[in-house]
Structure 1
Amino acid sequence: MRPLTLELKNFGPYDHTVVDFQEFANAPLFLVTGNTGSGKTTLFDAMVFALFNETTNNQERNAAALRADFAPVTEETWVKFTFEHAGVNYTINRRPKQTIQNKRGKLIDRGSKADLTFEKDGEVTELTQIKEVDNFITDLLQLNKDQFKQLVMLPQGQFRQVLASSSSEKESLLEQLFQTSLYRQWTASLKQQLSEQNQAMQAQEQQLQTLKQSESEVDDQLATPVWLTKVQELQTQAQRELEKIFREIKTGQEKVGFAQEQLTVAKNKTQAETELAQLRQTAETLVRQEPEIKAKQATISQLVWYQGIQADFLKWQEAQKNYEQAKVAQPQAKVRLDQIQAEVEQVSQIATQLARQTTTIDQHRQTKLALEQKIPDFEQRARLKQQVTSQTNMVTATQQRLTELNQVQKRKEKQQVECQNQLPDRDQLTKKEIQLNQSLSQLANWQADQKQLMATQVEIEKRAQVVKQAEIAVQKTNQNLQEAKANLAQQKDGFARNVIARLAQDLLPGEACPVCGSLDHPHVAAIKPTEKVVTEEAVQEAQNQVDQALKVVSQAQTNADHAQADLVATKQTMMDQLTKLATSLQVKSKLADVKQALKTRAETLTKQQATIKAEKQKYQALQTELTNIGDQLTSLREQIDQQTHQFQTLKEGLAGRQAQLTSLDQRLGSQTLEEVQTQIKDLTKKVTEFEQKQEANQHQQQVAKEALAVAKTELGQLQQQAKDANQQRQELQQKLIAALAEFNPDLDWEFLTGAQKQIGQLTDLQAAVNQYQQAIAANQAQQKQVQIRLEKVTTALPIESAQKALAEAQKQLNLLLANQGQQQEQVSRRQTLIKKVTQIVENQADQLARQTELNTLVKVVTGNSETKLSLERYVLKSYFSQVLQVANEYLIRLSQQRYEFKLDDQVGHGNGQKWAGLEINVHDNHVGRDRSARTLSGGESFIASLSLALGLSEVIQRQAGGVKIEALFIDEGFGSLDQTALQTALNALLEIQGSRMIGVISHVTELKEQIGDQLVVTSQNGRSEVSYRHGNEI
């Protein structure tokens, strides 16, 4: 990546400036010079902002805060950066969030924007979304913003950070640059897996113990294999008992079966005797029903005969009904005929009357036609009268409207002049608003610092709590250590007593005592029965507990010291933050004073904001009112012109219509349109009523004639119907009386009427007789079958005896079954228990092997091994070794073979996992020994820092996929060097420039004299410009 051009608009102190880096294409080392505060660093803030939407120090000065104070409210702030990468030119344009005045004079907030364009293989690509632009830049450069600032931009005060930082600080920086957090996350994942496996093993062991405790007949403290053997023996014994019970159950079931057969025989005999008695009782009931059945059979015979003549009887009933209906309807038909004849005569009389009115109606029609021909003239005259009246009113109204509009125009012109006099100065108002926004932005930064200060205060409280807990832990571990020491002393004393007692037992008479040397042994030491025997292993275990307690105490004390150091550092951080904020606010370094100052400042700015807001509202209101007045005046002038034209047109039209009206009045006379229309309406009504009456009379004549014919026909039909029905009923009646006499002379005409009513019951009567006969036959057959069953039963126990024998057999069987169930449940439960325990034992063996492997791996990656170096720190050390290897190529050359970097492998050993192994020494070839890099002089330190920065740059470029960075910008760092060190630094820069563009940002006079190619930043009245200077190369 090589910069080409940088264009700034209203950014920092730059109005509109273009920096052309191609001015230094043939002189890669150039100086960016200018007075302090002129805006040198702002150029590179703009470059970083264009690429990553941040500045070189985004916490202290973000892009939004770098909007120029002098920028007009109507113009935007933006940065355009063009650079070359892998043979392709890229142009990125980025705008920060800002407040801009639109065309209507209203201030609006515009969000940040970004767009990127480039041409590759003849195709132009344009990206316009911020997210896609950011992702594209990161993917293209293979660097994030932090890596870019570390490798390309070396900001003020950070140039020597890598060299001078502590080992832990280097670890934090390198972890971010080389993205090694993956190894820490993987280590945490392995530890979590190990913890989960430990928990699973504990859970399985607890489950195994619970299962063993569920078998009360075996001691659960036995080893699991022994416990399983004991339980298996119990299971074998229980299965034998179960087989014995099965045999006994089979015998009991056979006894129950025999007793059930005996009870069934007894029940069958009793049931047969009961059934025979019930059947004989049923037979007696059927005999008593015989007279009733015979009567039903006689009725059935008569109804069956009636079915044969039923059709003739129904025909007789129909003929009788028709005869009676015809006799009743004849008088009614005669009355209707007489009424219709009277109506025919009345309609004929009306027709004669209407014929006499025909001549008069014809005259009405002629008069009406003549009047209708004059209607258009009457209507035209009426319309002309209305138009004349309407136009007369319109002429008057238009003249009055013109007068009113002229008056309104004069008032609006006066009002316009008054508003223009009251309108505030817009430029002055905008200036106040810009100053307020700057003050608000500064207040927001101070408030953010206050928030950070309060967060640090909370962190101090947390760290104080950690210190307190660490001190408690130290006290507790010391107490545990004392208890362990006391236990060790007790174990040693007991062990010594036991040894002395054993040696005393082996003493021979006259042999010297190994303790006191006496040859006499009047009181030989002996172990008391109640005294516990202490073994050498117990003493060693107590010693191990003391050693472990000492390690724990040491670790607890270390943790407490670190916690106390963190607390002190955090308090110092808070004090630095408080001092910085108090200095900015020009108050004492007290938190209460800072809070009060911020509160007062916020209240003052709030009041100013309200005042400016009110002035803006007043300005906008007056501006709006002026616009409205102008629009109203334009509209009024248009209305006056329109009304004047309309007034002339109306006057001309009124004169023409008045002439037409005079002509029509002379031709039509005094009769009005309404009078003519009323006369036509009356004539029309008379003609219409006559025509309706005539049409109705004709219709009535037709209807009356048709009704008369229908009535005559109806009367004739009724007379013939009565005659035919009478003849049919007489013939059928004679036929039925003859058939009835032939069937049964004792029956009369009433029998036929009754039979017709009973014929629907014939099926039920027949079914009742058939059911009775079937019941007789079934009863006789059943009695015979029951008697046969009783003859087959020769011997049978009484039911009570059989039931008692069955109950006893069932009772014995139930006892056996209950015992079998209990025994079966115990065998099944024990079998399941054996299976579960066996499965857990097998699982524990497999899991223990996996756990052992994982535990070994965790120890290695966490640094709990001989090297005391975790995987992440090992990787960091490997990367840093590569960095030092590349940096040594520069350092050896720049120091004229005197110095080279080495990692200090001694520093930090003994501190366990806290050692990062990243301390730097330099080997001095002049004296042949190593010393700390911090002991280098100013110039030497600059060379070493530059070498280290270049080495770090190259290694990161390799890790980032081989991306090539062809630019390096160093911001200050030269002011603290003496003449010799400064010359050494310059020589170093000239040595390493090669094909890389190196820009040095400084105001040091010596650099101006020795670096001929310069980008000069000049400032005047708060605005800066750039120029180029070439020549005077070293």
Structure 2
Amino acid sequence: MRLHRLSMTAFGPFADETAIDFDDLSGDGLFLLHGPTGAGKTSVLDAVAFALFGRVPGARHDARRLHSDHAAPESVPEVMLEATIAGRRLRITRSPDHHRPKKRGAGTTKVNARATLVYLDGSGPDLTRLVDIGEAVTRLLGMSADQFFQVVLLPQGEFARFLRANSDEREELLERLFDTERFGDLEDWLRDRARESASALGERTSVLDRIAGQIVALGGVAAPADPDMDWAQGCLESARAEAVRLHDDVTSAQAALDRAQAAHEEGGRLVELRRRGDEARSRLDRLAAGAENVARAADSLAAARRAAPVIVVADELDRATAACSAAARGASAARTALGELPEGAALCDADPDELSTAIERWTAESGRWEPLARRAEQRPELVAAVERMEAEIGVAEKAIDELRVGLDAAPGRREDAVRALDAAVEARAQVLRLQAERDRVAAIGVALADRVTVTTALAETDTRLLSARESHASAREHHLDVRERRLAGMAAELAGQLEDGMPCGVCGSRAHPEPAAGGAEAVGKDDEEAAARAEHRAAADRTREENARATLVERRAHLDVTIGTMTDDQFDAERTQLAAKLEAAQRSAERVPELSDTITAIDAETEKLRGRLTENRSLLAARRERVEGLREDVATLDAEIAEATGGRIGVAERRAELGDLCRRATTLRTAREEEAQSRSRRADIRGQLEERSVAADFVDSAGRADVDAVRMAAASRAQIADWEALIQRAAAARAGADETLADPAVAAACAAEAVDLPALAAGLTDARATRDDVAGRHAVVAARVGGLEDYVAQFWAAADGLAPARARHEELQGLAELVAGRGQNSRRMALRSYVLAARLEEVLVAASARLHQMSAGRYEFVHSDAAGIRGRRGGLGIEVRDEYTGAVRATTTLSGGETFFASLALALGLADVVSAEAGGRILDTIFIDEGFGTLDPDALDLVMRVLDDLRAGGRVVGVVSHVDELRARIPAQLEVLRGEAGSRVHLHGPVGVS
């Protein structure tokens, strides 16, 4: 990630729009952000964080006061950041939740947060939804907001606290930076498995009780208090004894049934023997009636067997004769085909040797043509290559023309862009003038509104002042009247004060002969004082209203000076006109970076077009040279072919002609050989036919084979099979009948008395019913025994499985406690903490390299996985090894400066590891906030060397500090200045201040 530009408006201490160009600031790779305490140095980092994630680090986010107190209530707080993240340049604009005054009435209205993300390089769509923008930033950075706050904005004091924290506090930070959720899921999974194991153990106990109940129900026995294997086996043995007794009863009934069955079977056997004898005599009678048909079948079968070997040869002779005819036709066709060719006509009647000689001659001639034929086959490719090269030449010429057109147009485009850039730069200056004018007009607008309010208040004050003057005059007249009346009745008042025997306050006499008497309207001192107080109150009211009127008159005079001669209509028109001008100027000014990039792009494109023009010209020359060479190759090949063939026929045509001659001559030679072989075979088969006909006595009167007689005597396999079957059936039937009648048992049965088979069957039925009844009762008991055997076996299995289940539960329970950091875990380290410890080791390895350099080779980090005190979890301890003493020390023993560069090394190491875990993305920009004031000059040199290494690696490092010595060491500086109207920034560099 690399920052380019940051703009803040009404954000934190920055009331007006404040812009920071990081490209100018970070040219050296190292810059200083400094200013007095409270000026807003950290607020610059907050603005970067807010632009990216919509929140700021730490407790400042919880306060939710991002709107600047220095800005007008109606102003909109906004932050704009341009940055390159993961190679994609984008601009993010955000405005937080804030309140603005209501347009009507008193109070405020909440304005919801809004944001936009624009890909300046066109690599993605513009986004406006807060969720989409947050996901896009997190995906591009490869880290969350918490990770970014720790590894990019190295915060004030947090890594010193992290360095000295205990394992629990350190674990809280590491969990925010590294994803250990899956290991927590594993802890939960083991805990759930342990719970399931406990439930399964309870289920096994329940199953054992349920099986015992089933044994009680099936065996008809009482349930014991604590069923065990002896009890279950006793129930089974009792049922087995009853089954043995019933089995003996079944055996007796089965013996009676066997005897009845034997008697019934013997009666049935005698009846069957008598039936067989009667059937044998009937069969002999039927055989005598069909004897003539059997004799004819025997004669036909004998003749067919003699003709069988002869008919095979006769059929083979027919096939050989057909083959001779086919071979003759093939030879004739091959002769005709060869005669169709001029060079083959003379060989139509040649013998096979002559044909072989001609074939060899033609084959040799075809081989001599092969090299030239291969070259001739390349001619189409050469011609096609010439055509392709000519087409490519045309394309190259067209491309050169287009490049010339582009180069001719480039100067004009650049001049237009330069003019537009000059106008945009002028617009940037105009923006400042228009903003000042806008502020002046806005002040007039406020004054116009205030004048209306003041005028209304002045009218109301005049009314009150008139009333106050009238009230004061009335009170004064009343006071004077009361005083006059009191003076008039003063004698009566003094007489009222006289007491008998007391001296008069006027004359001193103790005698009061005629004291004056007061009238009905006489008033006293209290009345006069009350009237005086009323006059004073009325005078105070009059003075207050007069002062209020004077204040309003003075305020209206100031407002008149501010407003001048402008009316409300003129104000509205001028404000609208200024807003339009300012908006147009701002739009034009915003195009400065774009137009600068456009000019750079035009220059780059022009150079690219020139390079491509040179390249295309070289390519065109090479292609022209190549096409001339190809044309010469085609002409040379054509000349060779013409010289070889004399122009009469092509190479391919002559080779095809020779191949056709070879094929047809070979076909004729093969056909004549096959014809001779078929004639010889036919003669051999004819001799075999004569021999077999004589041997089978199938010859005519001349002693030659009588094929017609053979075919008449021959029979099909089915007919022969029928004759054989008929003869065999007759012989078998006669033999069977004779054998049956010769059997002594059959003869005895035929001579014996008839058997009462139904009576024997009734006795058998009674014996079977008795046996079935006893067997049924035995089956019931046997089924009970079988059920008990199953339940007892289940009881055994359940009892045997209970102990392993209990052992497995104890194992799972112990493992769950182990990964949770309890039980036998001596380190008190949970699995999640163990993984974090591995991450911490990686961090310490990366941090040790920088700590070793910053401490001049004295210190390096050491990871401690020891358990905490009082049973606390361990595994996340950090210590340092002092190479001067060889001792491993606690981090709390480090001095202030040592603590700072140890914290800085730890922060940088953590940034490296988190960056690597985020997919290896390079964090081009990091900020280091405070802590340099604790370093002596030598230590500061070592730390600056590390920062230089970071800068040399391509990073931009921003140091946030108010240490004076850093101003001399770091030329590029961004100074934050504090003022009553808000903070502002100044960029100091080697060339001055901006």
Q: TM-score range by the shorter chain?
A: 0.3 to 0.5
TM-score (normalised: structure 1): 0.41
TM-score (normalised: structure 2): 0.42
